[in-house]
Amino acid sequence: MYLVSIHLQNFRQHKDTHIQFIQGITGILGQNGAGKSTILEAIAWAFYGNKPGVLRGTKDYLIWRGAPGKSEVIVDLEFACQNHNYRIQRSQTTSKITAQLWQDEVLVANSSTGVDEKIRQLLCMTHQEFFNSYFTGQKQLQFLGSIEGATARERFIAKMLGYEKIEEIQGKSDKSNTLRYDLKQKEKVKNQLDGYMQKFEGLSDRIAAQKLKIEDTRSRLQNIQRHLLELALIKDELEPQWQQINDRRTNFLQLQTKLQAHQSQLPSLVGEVKNLEQKQADLQQELDKFKQLEQEVLPYENLQKEYQGLEQNYQSFLRAQQIRDRLITLEQEITATTTELQNLEPIGLELSAIEQVIGEYRAQIADREEQIKLETARWQQTKAELEAKVSLEKQALAKAQKQHQTIIDAGEDGVCPTCERPLQEEYGNVVNGFLQQITECQQHISQWQLQIEQLAKKPATILELEQAQTLLLQELKQRENRQKELDKATIRRQMLEQQIKEKQKQLNKLQGELELQDQNQEFNIEYFQTVQEQIKQLRPRHEEFLKLAQTPHNFKQVTEQLLQKQQDVRGLNQKIVAIQQEIDACGYSEACFNQLQKQREEAVANYTAVNDQYRSIGQDLQYAEQELQKLEQEKQESLVKEEERKQVNRECLTLEELDKAFSALRQYLTEQIRPRLAQSASYFSIN
C-alpha cells in the first residue's frame, strides 16, 4: 500500500491544505506547531476515525479555531492497495460524523461502521495493530523496544509479516477451512467409496447366472406354449358339438316351459267357463223377471207426468191459501200500528216547548256561573290584599322593635340608627316615636287579622248564588230527561210510520199475487189424491224394474264372454298338442348332453390349468429380465463409482503433497528465517 494524496479542510491548524505524495520517501519540514504531526494524525483519522489512540486530545478540539460556527472538518485521503485505487473521505460537525469509501471510483461503503470494517479487511489489522507497526507517531518509536523479551518481539514481527497465515492455512484436521481438514474429509469419502464398491463384487457372475436362468425359463415357456396349442385344438373340436346339443337342449327347455305354462292356464280357463255358465243362468232368470215388470209399469210413466202437472197446481192452491192467511195478519198488524201512532201525535208540540225551556235554563245557568266567578275572585283578592298588608306591617313592626331596642342599648350618647346623628337631648323623643310606631303597627295587624278571619268563610252573596245555581241545574236535568223521553217517542213514531209503509207494501203485493192465483181454474184435490195413490202403489215395482234395466245388456255381455272363453279353451288344447308334437320331434337326449358336457369341461379345465402355468412362467421370465436389468444398472453404477473413487484418490494425493509442501515451508521458516528475526529483535532495547 502507498499514499497518493491528502486534502485537509478545517482540521486543527490546517484551514485548506492539499498534499500530493510522490514515489519514495516524503519528508515534511516546518516550525514547531506548524501542523507536521497533524498531517500524520489526519492520515490515521481518515483510516480509523475517532477510535481510541487516533487523536491527540478529544474530538472537540479537532476543528480549526478560525472556522465559522457550524463548520465541517473534512479529510479526503487517496491511496493504492492490491492493484486498486481507494479514496476515503471523513467529515465531522458538532453533531455527527460521516465516512465514505470508494474503490476504483465506485462507492463501496457510506457509513463510519462500514468504512471501518472495509479498512480492517483491506489492511488485515485493527487500528491498534496499525499504530503499533506501520504508523509511528512523534516520540513513539520506542514501542517495539518496550516489548519485553526478544521472543515476544520476534512473535510480533512474525505476525506482522504474515508467517502465522501459513500455519492457519495448513491448520489441523478438526478445524474447517484448512488444508488438513479438507484432506481428512476426502479420506472419509474415499473410505466410504471403498466400502460401497464391496457390494459390487461378483456382479459379473450374478449377471451370467441370471442370463442362464432367463434362457431356461424361455425354453420351458415354449414347451408349455406348444402343449397349450394342442389343448386349444381339442377344446375347439368339442365346441361345435356342444353348441349344437346345447341349442337342442335350450329349445327342449323352452318347449317344456311353454307346455307347462299352457297346462297351468287350462284349469283356470275351464273354471272361468263354468262361472260364466252359472252367471248366464242367473241372468236368464232376471231377464224373465224384467220382461214381466216391463208390462206392469207401462202406465207409471204417464201417471208420473200427469202427477207432475197436478203437483204444480197443488202448490199454487196451497200458495193462495197461505196468501189469504197472511193478508188477514197484515191487516191486523197495520190497524194496531196505526192506533199506536195516533197516540204519539201530540209529542211534537211538547218537544218544541221543552227545547225552548232548556235553552232558557242554560242561559240562566251561564249567567249565574259568571256571577259566582266574579264574586269569588273579588272575595279572594280582598283576602289576599289583607294578608299582604299584614305581612308588610309585621316586617315594619319587627324593624321598629329592632331600632327601638338598638336606641335603648345605645343610650343618650348613642347614634340614631336611621340618620346616624348623636341622640343626646333627642333621645326621649326618638324612643317615644318608635314606641308610637310599634303601637300603630300592632293595631293595624290586629284590625286586618280580624277582617281576614271574617273572610275565611264564603260570603252570603256567593252562597246564595251557588244555591240558586243548584236549583237551576236540577230543573235543567229534569227537562233534559223529559227531552230524551220525547226523542225516543219521536224515533218510535218514525219507526211505526216506516212499518206501516212496509206492511202496506207487502199487503198490496200479496193482493196482486192472489188475484193472479184466483184467475187459474179450480183445482180438483180428490183427483190429485187418486193419482198420487196410484203412483205410490206402482213405485216399488217401477224401482225394481229400474234395478233390472241393465239385465238385457249384462246377459248379452256374459254370453259373449262365455263364447270367447270356450273358444280360448279349445285353442289352448290345440297348442298343448302341437307343443307335445314338437318335443317328440326334437330328438334331445339328456344322457348325450351330460356326456358331451363332461368332456368339454375337462378340456376347458386342462386348457385353463396349462394357460395359468403359461402365465406364471411368463411372469417368472418378466421378473428375471427385470432382475437382469437391475444388475446391469448396478454395473453401470459401479463404473461411475469407480471413476469417482479414482478422482477422490487423485485429490487426496494432491492434498497430501500440499500438506508436505506447507510442512517443508514451515520448517524452513523455523530453521532459517526465525533465527534471523530473533537476532534482529534482540537489537531493540528500552533506553
- Nearest of 20, 92, 13 to residue 59 by alpha carbon: 92
Is pTM beyond 0.85? Reply is no
Q: What is the identity of the amino acid at 272?
A: E
pLDDT of residue 687: 36
Cell digits of residue 433? 316615636
pLDDT of residue 44: 87
Cell digits of residue 230? 394342442
d(CA 63, CA 444): 106
Check: CB of residue 476 under 8 Å from CB of residue 362. yes
- Nearest of 375, 367, 381, 385 to residue 459 by alpha carbon: 375
202: left (phi over 0), alpha (psi -120 to 50) or beta: left
Other C-beta atoms closer than 10 Å to the C-beta of 540 total 9
d(CA 22, CA 27): 10
- Nearest of 500, 599, 571, 522 to residue 240 by alpha carbon: 599
pLDDT of residue 133: 56
Which domains are present in the chain?
A: 2-131 (3.40.50.300), 343-506 (1.10.287)
Phi, psi of 67 (to 5 degrees): -75, 145
pLDDT in tens, 29-43: 888 878 888 888 899
Check: CB of residue 158 under 8 Å from CB of residue 164. yes
pLDDT of residue 154: 60
pLDDT of residue 305: 75
pLDDT of residue 140: 47
**What letter would DSSP give residue 35?**
S
d(CA 567, CA 273): 10
Element (H, E) at 284: helix 203-296
pLDDT of residue 321: 77
d(CA 90, CA 111): 9
Q: What is the identity of the amino acid at 647?
A: Q
pLDDT of residue 93: 84
Return the SS3 of 385: helix
d(CA 172, CA 445): 131
Angle at 228 between CA 225 and CA 232, to 5 degrees: 140
* 330-349 as b/e: b if 16+ CB within 10 A: beeebeebeeebeebeebee
d(CA 433, CA 427): 10
Strand arrangement, sheet containing 73-81: 14-20, 2-11, 73-81, 84-92, 97-103, 106-109
d(CA 404, CA 435): 7
Element (H, E) at 18: strand 14-20
Q: Residue 482: how many CA atoms within 13 Å on its side-chain side?
A: 17
- Nearest of 138, 83, 208 to residue 631 by alpha carbon: 208
pLDDT of residue 18: 94
pLDDT of residue 85: 93
With a cut of 50, which residues of the chain have pLDDT below it? 139-141, 684-687
Other C-beta atoms closer than 10 Å to the C-beta of 186 total 19
Check: CB of residue 630 under 8 Å from CB of residue 207. no
d(CA 292, CA 541): 11
